[in-house]
């Protein structure tokens, strides 16, 4: 038995060779060595950098609540999250406000935001609240005002997509970092004050809309 048991273990080890191509692995955007060799972190999912990422990365996110008829989204459907509405949709630079219905605009504050419901959503939804920090990668130094080069944009949504803010701005406690290249959202080059010129190619993400 002393000879058979080690051989049995070796046979099992040799047979264990999982096919990771069939496994969905989540990752934390901006961290090093999130994913197995040959994969990169995009949209909170480890993916093959040579694959067509536009649709698969979005499709692999955890399922969220169903869209509901709401008054605040131009499409007529969205997710109510307290005194804000999460309006999903892709948008090009200059188009972010168009996701909001008439009489609504990208939120600058949402004191009664339902953060718990927002974090159950598949995507991340940005508000018109821009923070800044002076030293690269130092998100602990984010402030709500100032003229530093590095920018973050506040909002709420899937915690895989957004980070928890060290400092809340406009009543929002989650953010996306404009320096994070794996983020779905693309920020303008250099300093900016609002989300008007941001873009987002993923239809699961979007904008938080409020009544002005």
- In this predicted model, what pLDDT tens digit does every residue of 20-60 receive, in sequence order? 555 556 665 444 556 777 777 765 567 776 664 444 444 44
Contact (CB, 8 A) for 146 and 133 = no
CA 143, chain centre distance (Å): 20
Per-residue DSSP letters for 41-97? EETTEEE-TTS--TTHHHHTSPP-PPPEE-SSBTTSEEEEETTEEEEE--B-TT-GG
Handedness of CA 100, 105, 111, 115 (dihedral sign): positive
207 has which bridge partners?
87, 126
**Residue that is written with structure tokens 């987002």 in the block:** 200
Mean pLDDT for 166-180 is 93
Contact (CB, 8 A) for 153 and 133 = no
Structure tokens that stand for 74 in this block: 């131009």
Q: What is the pLDDT of residues 119-141, one digit of tens each?
A: 999 999 999 999 999 888 888 99
Structure tokens that stand for 82 in this block: 């307290």
Q: What is the pLDDT of residue 205?
A: 97
Mean pLDDT for 97-121 is 96
Contact (CB, 8 A) for 108 and 129 = yes
Coil, helix or strand at residue 7: helix
Structure tokens that stand for 202 in this block: 């993923």
Helix extents (H) in 69-204: 115-118
Q: What is the pLDDT of residue 17?
A: 54
Structure tokens that stand for 89 in this block: 């949709």
């Amino acid at each position: 038995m002393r000879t058979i048991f080690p051989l049995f273990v070796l046979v099992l080890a040799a047979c264990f060779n999982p096919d990771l191509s069939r496994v969905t692995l989540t990752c934390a955007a901006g961290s090093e060595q999130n994913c197995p060799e040959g994969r990169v972190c995009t949209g909170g999912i480890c993916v093959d950098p040579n694959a067509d990422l536009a649709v698969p990365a979005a499709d692999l996110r955890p399922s969220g609540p169903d869209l509901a008829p709401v008054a605040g989204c131009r499409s007529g459907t969205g997710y109510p999250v307290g005194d804000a509405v999460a309006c999903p949709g892709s948008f090009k630079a200059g188009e972010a406000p168009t996701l909001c219905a008439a009489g609504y605009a990208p939120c600058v504050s949402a004191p009664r935001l339902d953060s718990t419901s927002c974090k159950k959503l598949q995507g991340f939804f940005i508000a018109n609240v821009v923070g800044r920090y002076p030293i690269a990668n130092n998100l602990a130094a984010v402030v709500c005002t100032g003229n530093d080069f590095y920018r973050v944009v506040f909002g709420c949504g899937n915690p895989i997509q957004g980070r928890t803010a060290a400092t809340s701005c406009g009543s929002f406690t989650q953010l996306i970092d404009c320096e994070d290249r794996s983020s779905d959202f693309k920020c303008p080059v250099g300093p900016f004050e609002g989300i008007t010129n941001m873009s987002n190619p993923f239809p699961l993400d979007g904008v938080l809309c409020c009544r002005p």
